[in-house]
Chain A
Amino acid sequence: MKPIVPDDVEPSSSESSARFSYSAIELPSLVATAFLLVWDIAVRFSGSDLFPKPIEVLWGLVELARKGLLVKYVVASLFRVTWGFTLAVVVGIPFGLLLGSNRLAQTAFNPLIQGFRPISPIAWIPVAILWFGVSDAAPVFLIFLASVFPITVSTAAAVKSVQSVYLRAADNFGLTRMQLFRRVIFPASLPQIITGLRIGLGIAWLVVVAAEMIAVNSGLGYLIIDARNAGKRYDLVVAGMVLIGVIGWVLDVLMRQIERFPSVKWAYGTTHD
């Protein structure tokens, strides 16, 4: 007897690759080139001595690379973000899981969290310096503070929005409380937790620059403030800004790679790039 193949067996959808046509490269390149051109012309017209033309920013980057500062500062900033963000993940995800699954914990902690959340991490800088002095610990603390709230809040929201039919099915299969958490609640919440991580990392990268301007003497934030104070080197200021932008972009692209895993991809729309 041949195997039974039902009529309805037919994959319902597959990702189209037609979207990635040549215009996806050419069009943005065109816009970016136009932007650089406008920038260059505007600086020439204004006759500014201080604000650099794009080409001067490029030479600024080359100069930083020659002096060995480029790698040193990028590594310093990434090091602080890595520590602060990792701490936020380690604290935020378990805390969020607790808040999302336990009504009592939610009621108890929610006002405190909502009260802390609107305080800009920048406002914490004096406190961080008081507690940690001028050291790596101060920016790490600030980055932790900045990213722990979005991670906690989105994890709690993810747990609360797990569809009840999954919980009932799990209940039907006789899962214990612990198994339910590990095999259903966590994987069901994971896509939204990852979104929280992306937001958290984005904020961490914003905050590291601000923290380094005040609390330490290395890193990309320090580069910007130092270049301005030590001789109005605006070519280096803008070079620092370019580095921040590019690295932040790369970090987000890396985070998005996690969303491609089949065990989380189900929750995201297909129009994702």
Chain B
Amino acid sequence: MIDAPAKSRGAGFYPARNPMKPGLVENLPHVRLDFGRNMIEQPASPVRTPRSEPPAVQVRDVWMLFPGRHGGRDIPVLERINVEVQSGEFVCIVGPSGCGKTTLLNIIAGFLKASRGEVLVEGQPVHGPDPRRIVIFQEGSVFPWLNVRTNVGFGLSDKSAAEREQIVQHYIHMVGLTGFESAYLRQLSGGMRQRVEIARALAANPEVLYMDEPFGALDYFTRFKMRADLIRIWQQERKTILFVTHDIDEAIQLADRVVVLGQRPSTIQLISPVELPRPRDLNSPMYLEIRDRILDALGMSLRGVVGGNGIGRSAGVGDVNIGS
């Protein structure tokens, strides 16, 4: 049983959440992509100060069995899952397709009940979904009958019209959709749809964001840009993020810590901190080392995959997807 190491660097040591201020977006350094240097330029990491609250999300000894078809034997999906996510931390759960990552996220979010074990949020057991913890779904859940503005304002029906409009504008600007307020889903590209989804989640002011392969359906360049923007938004908003992906590079580019799940029935193979300073140099030896460590934990190695001479290792930004 591997437990989350909440150690030295103390992931999630953040100051209290910044109240939302107009002009916050303007004051932050611009995000720029430089493919030539394989570098994502981002604002400097926030100052971390020690804190002593309970972890934002605690997964305690979660097991999941799916009932077998036609009265057959139950199918074990998850075994002995233990994860702790600190407040403000960005954790990625990575694993091959079909390993039960989405099932785990659904359990954590309260849409599914674990066969055994429990999920605690700030020390309280989770009994169902809650607006303080918003899920961003893999298949996209932006409502096609609403436009961008009304979608983003969906979770704000208890606010006054003026207040709602202000919050909606703030987040539409933050995700870069200014000018598209009146557009409907069918008029938006895949990346823009995910931006609406992220803005709608943020507008509801949740403490935690659960993201289930949100960029999985996007093309390579859009995905890259979305990651950079997500890091910028995360640093502005101080949300706790639990992000599920099958893409190891995506996990290392984004996360403070990477939780690696194995083949089904999944157990945690490795929890690896990513102590790369942001902006992250995707060519740094440490980046490649972490990637190798994760691949090793999954019983795979890039060494010798291409031509047997390590070409795969020096692939730099190349996407290494395991499973498919």
Which residues does A use to contact B, with CB under 8 Å?
1-14, 165-166, 168-169, 171-174, 179, 183-184, 187-188, 190, 262-267
B31 partner, pick from A4, A166, A263, A266, beta carbons under 8 A: A4
Check A173/B155 contact, CB under 8 A, given A3-B178, A6-B176, A266-B184: yes
For the complex, give the distance between the alpha carbons of A263 and B186 in Å. Answer: 11
Collect the chain A residues with CB atoms within 8 Å of residue B154's CB: 173, 183
**Which residue on chain B has the smallest CB distance to residue A191?**
B145
Shortest Cβ gap from A268 to chain B (Å) = 10
Which of A166, A168, A173, A263 touches B111 (beta carbons < 8 Å)? Answer: A168
Least distance between B227 CB and chain A CB atoms (Å): 12
Say yes or no: is B163 at the interface (Cβ < 8 Å to chain A): no
Establish whether residues A267 and B195, one from each chain, have CB atoms under 8 Å apart when the complex forms.
Answer: no
Chain A residue, CB-CB nearest to B132: A174
Min C-beta distance of B31 to chain A, whole Å: 7
| A185 vs chain B, min Cβ distance (A) | 11
Q: Are A190 and B145 in contact (CB under 8 A)?
A: yes
Contact present for B145 and A11 (CB under 8 Å)? no
Provide the bound-state CA to CA distance between A265 and B176, in Å.
25
Of B89-97, B136-144, B238-246, the one with at least 4 CB within 8 A of chain A? B136-144
The answer on a CB contact under 8 Å between B222 and A266 is no
Kindly identify which residue among A4, A165, A179, A184 contacts B137, using a CB–CB cutoff of 8 Å: A165
| A-B interface pairs (CB < 8 A), number | 112
**A184, B143: Cβ atoms under 8 Å?**
yes
A8 to chain B: which residues have CB within 8 Å?
A: 189-192, 218, 221-222, 225-226
CA A56 – CA B176 in complex, angstroms?
66
Is B135 interfacial (CB 8 A cutoff)? yes
A166 nearest CB across to chain B (Å):
6
Q: With A and B bound together, what is the CA distance between A7 and B187 in angstroms? A: 16
Contact A168 B135 (CB under 8 A): yes
Q: What's the nearest-Cβ distance from chain A to residue B251, in Å? A: 21
Report B-chain residues with C-beta under 8 Å of the C-beta of A11.
Answer: 183, 187-189
User: Are A4 and B229 CB-contacts (below 8 A) given A13-B187, A171-B129, A187-B145?
Assistant: yes
Nearest CB of B to A154, in Å = 17
Contacts A/B (CB < 8 Å), 27 sampled: A1-B27, A3-B173, A3-B176, A6-B176, A6-B225, A7-B225, A8-B218, A9-B177, A10-B189, A12-B186, A13-B186, A13-B187, A165-B141, A166-B141, A172-B109, A172-B135, A173-B131, A173-B204, A174-B129, A179-B157, A183-B157, A187-B146, A190-B145, A262-B147, A262-B184, A263-B146, A265-B184
Q: What distance in Å separates the Cβ of B98 from its nearest Cβ neighbour in chain A?
A: 19
Partner of A264, one of B134, B145, B173, B183: B145
The interface of chain B, by Cβ under 8 A from chain A, is 25-28, 30-31, 109, 111, 128-131, 133-135, 137, 139-141, 143-147, 154-155, 157, 173, 175-178, 180, 183-192, 195, 204, 218, 221-222, 225-226, 229
In angstroms, Cα B229 to Cα A5, docked, is 11
On whether A168 and B173 interact (CB within 8 A), knowing A11-B187, A263-B146, the answer reads: no
Output the nearest chain A residue to B219 by Cβ-Cβ distance. A8
**Closest residue on chain A to residue B28 by CB atoms:** A1
Q: In whole Å, how far is A263's beta carbon from the nearest beta carbon of chain B?
A: 5
Nearest A residue to B111 via CB reads A168
Partner of A169, one of B31, B141, B180: B141
Nearest-neighbour CB distance to chain B for A180, whole angstroms, equals 12
Question: Are B137's CB and A169's CB within 8 A?
Answer: yes
For residue A9, which residues in chain B have a CB less than 8 angstroms away from its CB?
A: 176-177, 180, 189, 191-192
Q: Is the CB of B140 within 8 A of A165?
A: yes
Q: Report A-chain residues with C-beta under 8 Å of the C-beta of B145.
A: 187-188, 190, 263-264, 266
Known pairs A9-B176, A169-B137, A174-B130; A266 contacts B225 (CB<8 A): no
**Other CB < 8 Å A-B pairs besides A3-B178, A173-B204, 12 of them?**
A1-B25, A1-B26, A6-B229, A8-B225, A10-B189, A11-B189, A12-B186, A169-B143, A172-B129, A183-B157, A188-B145, A266-B184
CA distance A174 to B110 in the complex (A): 12
- Would B185 and A266 count as touching, CB distance under 8 A? yes
Measured CB to CB, the closest approach of chain A to B128, in angstroms, equals 8
Q: In the bound complex, what is the Cα–Cα distance between A96 and B184 (angstroms)? A: 27
A168→B189 contact, CB < 8 A: no
User: A188 CA to B173 CA in the complex, in Å?
Assistant: 27
Distance of A9 Cα from B188 Cα, bound (Å): 8
User: Nearest 8 pairs between A and B by C-beta?
Assistant: A8-B191, A266-B144, A169-B141, A187-B145, A174-B131, A173-B155, A6-B176, A4-B176
